[in-house]
Amino acid sequence: MNTRVRLDAGSAVPPYEQVRAQLAAMIGDGRLPVGTRLPAVRQLAADLALAVNTVARAYRELEAAGLVQTRGRHGTVVAPGRDDATDRLHRAAAGYAAEARRLGVPPDRAVALVRAALDAGTAG
């Protein structure tokens, strides 16, 4: 299993988002297949010299996106059940994130733009 995450200390992207994005990319392109156990939060935090809460936030966001499942003492694993639509949306989201970074749009603003677009799609 290659869960090599690299942090860019000079990046404007917060460390939790760097961890989340890199793991999401590894899941999305199959480097981390379904069922792969991710490093324990404490272990990855120690490896990256980050606070435990920073890595925990990244894992929570991956879980909220349906990319991983946390199984208590059994750890966090890459989630099954992703379908073609989810995979296509993941690729589109990765492309959007890359473009936002290229344009210098902060992550919170990029997410706000997506939320606004989703809300506009449900407005009457």
In a domain, residue 47? The reply is yes
Residue 120 has pLDDT above 80, yes or no: yes
Mean confidence (pLDDT) of the chain: 88
pTM of the model: 0.68
pLDDT band at 109 (very low <50, low <70, confident <90, very high): very high
- Full domain range(s) for residue 110: 15-122
Within a domain: residue 8?
A: no
CATH number at residue 109: 1.10.10.10
Domain count along the chain: 1
Question: Is the four-CA dihedral 89, 83, 36, 66 of positive or negative sign?
Answer: positive
Q: Give the pLDDT of residue 81.
A: 63
Q: Please indicate, yes or no, if residue 3 is contained in any of the structural domains.
A: no
Q: Specify the pLDDT at position 5.
A: 94
What is the 8-class DSSP label of residue 39?
A: P
122/124 Cα distance (integer angstroms): 6
Residue-wise pLDDT for 27-84, tens only, equals: 888 889 888 999 999 999 999 999 999 999 999 999 998 899 998 888 999 998 666 6
